Amino acid sequence: MEFSPVSTEDVNTEGCIKSDTSHRKRKVSRDVELEIELLYKAVPQLAKVFRIIDKIGEGTFSSVYLGEAQMQDGRREMFALKYLIPTSHPTRIAAELQCLTVAGGRENVMGVTFCFRKEDRVLIVMPYMEHQAIVDVIGSLSFEEVRLYIYHLLKALKHIHQFGIIHRDIKPNNFLYNRKSKKYALVDFGLAQGTADTQIELLKVVRPRSSQKGGGTTGKQEAAPRSKAPPKTTSTASTSLPPQQSLPASSSSSSTSSSASGKTLVKRARPVPTLGSHTKLTKELTGLRKVPRPVFGERNLNSCAPVRSTTKQAASKKELRKPADLAPQGPLPVRTQSSSQKPQKALQPGLTCSCYLTDRVCNICMARKQQVAPRAGTPGFRAPEVLTKCPNQGTAIDVWSAGVILLSLLSGRYPFFKASDDLIALTQIMTVRGSRETIRAAKTFGKALVCSQELPCQDLRTLCETLRGSGSSRNNKVTPAAEAKCSEKIHDETPTHRPADPTLHPHRDGETAACLTKQSSVSDSEVEEDELGWDTVPDEAYELLDQMLDLNPSTRITAADALQHPLFNDL
């Protein structure tokens, strides 16, 4: 890529840059202007190449800016500049870059153009792709658009999985979609991990994270910092980096015991600290490192290790929690066999656990160490094996997340699952896939789940049509238009499913009910719905959905096989 320097006069125009593209006229807020100024200061070489026009994204570990560069042939080109939080571990950053350089730039995977580094500040420069947020278009997508979207997402997954990359954070925010030009791009390898035989060298070095993005309530920008080490001044190109220090596992974990762990979740509304000052973040990190924070560790069905008793102190402080305490929305009928998050003291051998496969947690189990397994990603998109902390996780977790996206698109609901912690997420999955089925699947990967209430497995077509208000369920259900309005209102606060509502009915709350009364005449919406193809969704779509949402990762369809599914015969 050949840049020609941009004059500093242009650059110093407070973020509102003179340019002949429409981007130039963007009105940016004073805050963003300040951020841009600071960015120029933090990485001065930027100014020689880019005019930073606006901020276009704020993730957990980065801020993304729109930058314009004048190319040597005179053209101006737009780039996305991803500025990583300075506390990101150098190996992490290097691994993210390596995923982009090795696998990116084709097959619907975002490429990388350039990278800037000044001390601990790193900027990844990528081609800019204009895109729409799923939440803005979901109400008007046709079935054909949904089919293509999933096809292209699977294509990206097949491609990265061939390189042994597990993305770990598949969700619409990380799969850019340009509806008009039908372009797609998978971004954000910030949480990626390698399979055992990964071709991405640096993914062999990055340690699995046990506590990651997620655990928060929004399913959007929540996280504990991915950094496991203090800021380092190291070249991202270097591979001989210091080993990562590890955070106590699952600081953001939620399992059953977890209001306490909820508090430890590092949740920042504006996750990127002001350039050059990340005191707060550093403090949070330091705090996390100091406090041992064992949370529930699921008892492995295969290992009935001698049980250990807790100390008196731990026992007296740690009362059993009823599952209902954990779900403010209603009783949470599920828990994993697990222990507490109390700091561990030496446990006496020989005591027998009294709670195995009951719906309570005994003090012995309260004192167990938690099981450590990767939990990266956003709760609503996490696969059952991730939610239950199965240590062997593979590329199948990405397919599950893609399945959740498909479920969302077919039902017209986004986000579909929205959970503040893993157990609620698991309950929500059970609500759709059935509690018995979930328990059975969990058993195959060594996890014992207890559910106090039986939740039946839903028929996926009926479920989606009911929520969408189309197809055969249309007559006695809400119309898409009314539903779209309602879901728009509620999507931010309310998950599509609540643990307390195992029967899945669109009449979920006052707001929705209010909308329902308005839509007795449905003909317009019906016509629209028919035009969008929602009245003729083929069985293959639900078949594929069923295979992507297979609770058992070892039988779950792979991205490569999914692309061969009859649903995509003509593609």
User: Counting contacts by CB under 6 A, is residue 61 touching ligand ADP?
Assistant: yes
* Interface with ligand ADP (CB under 6 A), residue from 16, 129, 135, 260: 129
Buried b (16+ CB within 10 A) or exposed e, 261-272: bbebbbbbeebb
- At 370, list the tokens: 């938690």
User: Counting contacts by CB under 6 A, is residue 80 touching ligand ADP?
Assistant: yes
- Which has the closest alpha carbon to 166: 390, 399, 426? 399
Instruction: Name the binder of 61 from ligand ADP, Mg ion, Zn ion, none, CB < 5-8 A by kind.
Output: ligand ADP
Question: For the chain, how long is the longest CA-to-CA vector?
Answer: 77
Q: Tell me, rounded to whole angstroms, the distance of Cα 451 from its chain centroid.
A: 25
- Which has the closest alpha carbon to 333: 269, 197, 428, 244? 428
Outline where 371-498 has alpha helix (H): 384-387, 396-411, 422-433, 435-444, 460-468, 480-490
Choice between 336 and 558, CB closer to Zn ion? 336
Let me know if 169 is a catalytic residue: yes
* Interface with ligand ADP (CB under 6 A), residue from 40, 65, 116, 128: 128
Helix (H) or strand (E) holding 65: strand 62-71
Q: What is the DSSP string of 329-347?
A: TS---EEES----SPP---
- Which has the closest alpha carbon to 262: 229, 296, 302, 238? 296
Which range binds ligand ADP by CB under 6 A, 114-122, 135-143, 173-181, 319-327? 173-181
Report, in Å, the least distance between residue 375 CB and Zn ion. Answer: 23
User: Counting contacts by CB under 6 A, is residue 223 touching ligand ADP?
Assistant: no
Q: Which of 54, 120, 169, 421 is catalytic?
A: 169
Rounded Cα gap, residues 48 and 63, in angstroms: 20
User: Counting contacts by CB under 6 A, is residue 326 touching ligand ADP?
Assistant: no
Which range binds ligand ADP by CB under 6 A, 138-146, 168-176, 300-308, 375-383? 168-176
- At 512, list the tokens: 């929705």
Instruction: Name the binder of 82 from Zn ion, ligand ADP, Mg ion, none, CB < 5-8 A by kind.
Output: ligand ADP
Choice between 59 and 194, CB closer to Mg ion? 59
User: Counting contacts by CB under 6 A, is residue 439 touching ligand ADP?
Assistant: no
Report, in Å, the least distance between residue 332 CB and ligand ADP. Answer: 29
Rounded Cα gap, residues 414 and 258, in angstroms: 26
User: Counting contacts by CB under 6 A, is residue 224 touching ligand ADP?
Assistant: no
* Interface with ligand ADP (CB under 6 A), residue from 19, 62, 261, 435: 62
User: Counting contacts by CB under 6 A, is residue 59 touching ligand ADP?
Assistant: yes
Residues that bind Mg ion in the complex, under the rule CB under 5 A: 59, 174, 188
Which residue's Cβ has the minimum distance to ligand ADP? 59
Q: Torsions phi, psi of 410, nearest 5? A: -70, -30
Report, in Å, the least distance between residue 93 CB and Zn ion. Answer: 42
Rounded Cα gap, residues 550 and 397, in angstroms: 10
Q: Which residues are near ligand ADP by CB under 6 A?
A: 56-57, 59-62, 64, 80, 82, 110, 126, 128-129, 173-174, 176, 187-188, 190
Residues with a known catalytic role? 169
